[in-house]
Amino acid sequence: MKHCLKFLVVFFACGLASCSRQTDMYRQPMGYEVPSSLFSAVQQISDYSQPRSVKNIRVGMLLPLSGKYKNLGENLRNAGLLAQFDINSDSFELLFYDTKGTADGAKEAFNQAIDENVQIILGPVLAEEVGAVRRARSGRDVPVISFTSDTDKVGKGVYTMALLLSNQAERIVRYACEEGKKRLAILAPDDPSGDIAIETAQKTAKQCGMEVTKLAVYNPTFINYEPYVLSVLPESVALAKEKKEKERLARKQNKDLPPPDEEQEPAEEEIPIAEQLEFDCLFIADTDNRLKSIASLFALYDVTPDVVPFLGMSTWREPSLTQEGALVNARFSDLPMTGFKSFAQKYKDTYRKEPVRLASLTYDAVALAYVLGQEEAIHAASITRPNGFSGVDGLFRFNKDGTSERLLGISKIVARNTFGTIERPARTFDEEAFLKEGLDDIRLINEWQAHRPILREPELMMDEADNLTTAETSAADDGFVDEADMIDVTPTTMSD
């Protein structure tokens, strides 16, 4: 690379306070199993133990430590304390403020933190809390790094560390593009999260020349999703299922009817389900019980992830979903798990219970605050540095509008309580940008394939091959090829 990539490595580590700081570069933390590629571009400081001056850092963390979300707040506080313990610095002070899980409570907690002269605020968690803090922050310089996924609540000095829906939807649809898929069907709930997923999926599909052929938006409060499933399936699939069901019931009522294989008239050759569908990949922007219901309905019509790829987001990494057979081999965008597994084990060893998935955010946030606190002043440029930061959940960075980006991989459901990795995340944001630029190349290829003339049907070539004489076969074996046989009629495919 022409320029040395510099990463500010903010990672969970024992003895982080002993790391010497020099031009925003940190040595890889010790004692955790972290993929070596994550730190391959990190310049390590030459003298690991050289003395340095340490600034006093006061950090405020706003969490719901009472009220409806008390258990969540305590879990996140435990993760923050674990990070403080790992930092192990007398100059680092972490203060907790109770938001009570309400907008008014968050505003009060924010004002108290400001009165106590904190240099940076971490949290709050809930969207309404973040909105209240953003309004209260007006005219103040203290940056806020929240944990909300509602991007409407960030900006103007308020950031979020959350994994955003748009980030996840873009990654999984881009994966489908890279796999050569050309027709996308989308099912999504009629709510804000569904709107974001649909908008992002359509935008990404357009970038690579993929056509969105089917779109079904359903009321998430409904119980029966079959009408929406049928709306994306061709009539032939529904009629075939109806015909088979009638035959099954008829034989059940009249046992004298011959079984299908003994009927005199030969059955018509069935067209494979995949060839009947008007899409070659299916994006379902939902999870939990609704996802199980939708997947099982598709399975009733013989549409499964083995027929067309089922595409989803990181919430599909849920053990209960692996018990739904209709989701086996379904694929989804996902955070790297190596760092979180190590963090979760340390959390469990310390607190004798499993952490919630969000706990890694507060751990990374505390470590980030410590590193940013070593600057002369914490300002927007240091928070939004392009190369980002590396934490428990991999590489992430903040944008100037307050949103965040994370590098995601692709995983799949393999079997009960088992997930597999299909693609690992990009190693750097530069690499991720390069991969995204490749969508234009895919779009051009798709457009060329859609408009080029069909010079010869593959079936016709197969018939001709079957009718070759012995002499013609020998000529071909000897290396002779007629010009007509050089016409390429196979679809161009993209390699990974």
Strand partners, 332: 312, 411
Task: Quickly state the pLDDT bin for 37 (edges 50, 70, 90).
Answer: very low
- The answer to which of 116-130, 166-180, 281-295, 456-470 has the lowest mean pLDDT is 456-470
% of the chain residues with pLDDT over 70: 74
Read off the pLDDT of residues 382-428 as tens digits, 9 standing for 90 and up: 999 999 999 999 999 999 999 999 999 999 999 999 999 999 999 99
What 324-329 contacts at long range (C-beta under 8 Å, 24+ apart), as own/partner pairs, is 324/291, 324/292, 324/295, 324/296, 325/299, 326/292, 326/295, 326/296, 326/298, 326/299, 327/291, 327/292, 327/295, 327/413, 328/304, 328/413, 328/414, 328/415, 329/304, 329/305, 329/412, 329/413, 329/414
CATH architecture for segment(s) 165-260+271-334: 3-Layer(aba) Sandwich (3.40)
Q: What is the pLDDT of residue 259?
A: 62
Read off the pLDDT of residues 186-222 as tens digits, 9 standing for 90 and up: 999 999 999 999 999 999 999 999 999 999 999 999 9
Read off the pLDDT of residues 84-137 as tens digits, 9 standing for 90 and up: 999 999 999 999 999 999 999 999 999 999 999 999 999 999 999 999 999 999
Every domain range in the chain assigned CATH 3.40.50.2300: 8-163+336-406, 165-260+271-334
Residues 309/281, Cβ–Cβ less than 8 Å: yes
State the chain's mean pLDDT as an integer: 81
Name the superfamily (CATH) of residues 8-163+336-406: Response regulator (3.40.50.2300)
pLDDT at 493 over 60: no
Please state, in angstroms and rounded to a whole number, the distance separating the CA atoms of residues 398 and 295.
35
Q: What is the pLDDT of residue 257?
A: 58
% of the chain residues with pLDDT over 90: 67
In terms of Cβ atoms closer than 10 Å to its own Cβ (0-12, 13-18, 19+), residue 342 is: middle
Task: Quickly state the pLDDT bin for 374 (edges 50, 70, 90).
Answer: confident
DSSP state of 491: P
When comparing pLDDT for 471 and 323, which is higher? 323
Q: What is the pLDDT of residue 486?
A: 31
When comparing pLDDT for 366 and 248, which is higher? 366
Give the DSSP per-residue string, 379-432: -HHHHT-TT-EEETTEEEEE-TTS-EEE--EEEEEEETTEEEEEEPPPSSHHHH
